[in-house]
Structure 1
């Protein structure tokens, strides 16, 4: 089911707040951290926020536009949906874990995890 803008915003806000709390905990636990240490922590948080945001929006894409059954690359027959599969994807902003529909061709016995 498609998530509303408000639901996505709330999930992203909660994740961001959790990451902010973690960097504040780190800051309080480290007396007089150097500029390099602070920058490293901030960059780590920035990366995590970016990955989480991208992952949430990519995941929401399929709910907005459910994919039509693809044709088998080998025999060109319509493939059948076999549920969802989880896949780790390396993108520009790092590794994300997404779920997408998995398709199977009963004729060729080949599976397909559509790109997103």
Structure 2
């Protein structure tokens, strides 16, 4: 199981990334002093979506990225799977787009690997794909 990121480490990383976002927007605003609100929003939207993905990624790393002490059973043969580490998985959500860390498991018997399944979405929730 991976070592979980400590809260203070995640917070420090988040602050560095927030500073990078600020600097990117600051540069862009200097280059586009007459930008309209619509243009500012259009430039900010993809930056914000990536920033949101990084925020979620850091929170997931604090929780071990979905790894568990007891490995999941292989969905094909039912045998315990082997933990292979944390891999990046592309995610697109309503307010984020980017790579998210996720524990990866492998079944040597079936030669199948997978990311742990997400819990079922509630009636008012969408699954993160």
TM bucket by the smaller chain?
A: 0.7 to 0.9
For residues 40-90 of structure 1, the C-alpha deviation after alignment (integer angstroms, 9 at most, x for no partner) is: 234344323322211211232226x74121111122111122333332122
Q: 1:93 to 1:59 in 2, by over 3 A?
A: farther
Q: For 1:49 and 1:89, how far apart are their aligned partners in 2?
A: 13
Counterparts of 1:113 and 1:5, CA distance in 2: 24
Q: What's the counterpart of residue 86 of structure 2?
A: 84
TM-score by length of 2: 0.73
Q: 1:105 to 1:45 in 2, by over 3 A?
A: closer
Higher relative contact order (CA 8 A, sep 6+): 2
Matched residue SS, 1:33: coil
Query: Are the counterparts in 2 of residues 59 and 98 from structure 1 also a CA contact under 8 Å?
Result: no
Which of 16, 19, 27 aligns to 1:17? It is 19
Superposed counterparts of 1:40-59, under 5 Å: 40-59=42-61
Aligned equivalents of 1:83, 1:42: Cα separation in 2: 33
Please give the alpha-carbon distance, in whole angstroms, between the structure 2 residues aligned to 1:52 and 1:99.
Answer: 10
Kindly report the root-mean-square deviation, in angstroms, between the aligned alpha carbons of the 2 structures: 2.2
Aligned length in residues: 115
The residue that corresponds to 1:7 in the other structure is 9
Larger Rg: 1
Higher percent of residues as helix: 1
